[in-house]
Amino acid sequence: MKLLNSLKSSVVITAITFFAYSCNDREMLYSPNFNSALEINSSEWSADYLGGEWVRRHIILNKDFDGDPIATIIKKRDTCPGETALLYIHGYSDYFFQTSLADSMENAGLKFYALDLRRYGRSKLPNQIWNELRGIEDYFEEIDSAVNIIRKEGYEEIVLMAHSTGGLTASLYAAKKGNDVPFISMILNSPFFDFNAGGVAESLGIPLISAIGAILPKTVVNRNVSPVNCMSLHKDYHGEWDFDTIMKPIQSPMVTASWIRAIHKGQKKLQKGIEISCPVLIMSSSEGSKGDKFEEFHKRSDTVLDPEEIREYSKSVHGDVRSEVFEGGLHDLVLSEKTVRDKVYESMKRFIRPDFKSK
């Protein structure tokens, strides 16, 4: 019996290892020419590729497993709508481009900032692996730095808004800070509290890949990720938004086993229960959907995560936590159709300060 069990385990591990190695698209992982002409400027604000009033500033981070990373903070130039700032953190395979969110928040009296994390978007450097990660706590450094920059610009009150994997990161960051959390409140937009895999893939596959990630971190994981989420967003497909499809590709890129390990460990920590000492609003769509071929219902549902799981694991976040569900919402709720996203904006404003009124 022991021999049989050992044989079964060996077969499973071999199968998972083969699965993990079965795709090795290095060009898509590295995009070596991306940002090759970037001039890193951490001392002052400079023009951002969004143009016009948008500016950015780089944050030089401590050396990590892959050299000298940077992060990027973005804002509108010369606006000073009020005494409170909002800091936005993106999700996986993403970057900040949601200017309508910024406009809405500034119209409500909030100075808007966004943060592109290391190896994401504007912060991805040549020969770095897109989105690569060893531990979610790695991101805490750039969050601290962004908070310090915002405070130096005169904003002591800061609201944090985070989407998807950013929501998981923000939750663990706030839990670690305890009573020293630097935010007056937090808004989590479809936070990535659990893998939406199900069955054996989630119960066995993800833990095994996570274990592989500790030994062979750069193992490429061949995930079958549907492109319908970005197809429901981009104006060249079925959406209304224009974004850079290198920084946010229509077909989500592969990940490494170390990325799976970092997210898996973070989710397990959260699911055991965490305490956040500032008020938290957790937002989710009313329903989820799947499919590799685009259908109209994909424009009215979360095609990435299971909203029911978001709401279930939200119970693991202890403190002043509120939940709100949006009928017809996309995974990134602020990119939903206008009638839905307007409701999202109004909900956010009421949560941050009940007396907020749009200009």
The per-residue pLDDT for range 152-173, each reduced to its tens digit, is 999 999 999 999 999 999 999 9
Task: Grade residue 197 by pLDDT with cuts at 50, 70 and 90.
Answer: confident
Strands 110-116, 70-76: parallel, antiparallel or unpaired by DSSP?
A: antiparallel
Confidence at residue 276, expressed as pLDDT on a 0 to 100 scale: 98
| Contact indicator for 53, 76 with CB cutoff of 8 Å | yes
**129-147: burial string, b at 16+ Cβ within 10 Å, e else:** bbbbbbbbebbebbbebbb
Q: What is the pLDDT of residue 25?
A: 52
In a domain, 205, yes or no: yes
From its phi and psi, is residue 283 left (phi > 0), alpha (psi between -120 and 50) or beta? Answer: beta
Contacts of 86 (CB under 8 A, 6+ apart): 105, 110, 111, 112, 113, 158, 159, 160, 161, 352
Average the pLDDT over 129-154 and give the result. Answer: 97
CA distance 166 to 161: 9
Within a domain: residue 37?
yes
Is it the case that residue 139 has pLDDT exceeding 80?
A: yes
**21 belongs to a structural domain:** yes
pLDDT in tens, 48-80: 999 989 999 999 999 999 899 999 999 999 888
Is the pLDDT reported for residue 21 higher than 60? Answer: no
Distances (CA, A) of 313 to 73, 135, 219, 306, 341: 30, 20, 29, 11, 24
Question: Which residues on adjacent β-strands are paired with residue 241?
Answer: 234
- The position carrying tokens 């020293």 is 180
- The label of the residue with tokens 């799981």 reads 309
Cβ atoms of 287 and 301 closer than 8 Å:
yes
> Two tokens at 319?
């403190």
Q: Which residue has the higher pLDDT, 225 or 210?
A: 210
The tally of domains found in the chain comes to 1
Give a yes or no: residue 235 inside a domain: yes
Measure the CA–CA gap between 326 and 358, rounded to whole angstroms. Answer: 20
- Specify if 301 maps to a domain: yes
* Residue-wise pLDDT tens digits, 313-335: 999 999 999 999 999 999 999 99
Distance CA 277, CA 258 (A): 30
Range in 3-12, 68-77, 141-150 with the lowest mean pLDDT: 3-12
Please check the confidence at residue 358 and state whether its pLDDT lies above 80.
no
Mean pLDDT of the chain: 91
Strand partners, 54: 76
Backbone phi and psi for residue 321, each to the nearest 5 degrees, phi listed first = -115, 130
Residues 12-25: what's their mean pLDDT?
47
What CATH number should be reported for the domain holding residue 67? 3.40.50.1820
Contacts of residue 136, Cβ cutoff 8 Å, sequence gap at least 6: 168, 169, 172, 262, 263, 265, 266
Closest CA to 46 of 119, 122, 117, 129: 122
Residue 359 lies in a domain: no
Q: What is the residue range of 122's domain?
A: 2-352
Residue 190 lies in a domain: yes
pLDDT (average), residues 79-92: 95
pLDDT of residue 15: 47
pLDDT, residue 254, reads: 85
CA atoms within 13 A on the CB side of 18: 6
pLDDT at 24: 46
Placement of tokens 């908070």 in the chain: 147
- Whether 358 is covered by a domain: the verdict is no
pLDDT at 296: 92
CB 222 within 8 A of CB 27: no
Between CA 13 and CA 10 the distance in angstroms is 5
Q: State residue 187's pLDDT score.
A: 98
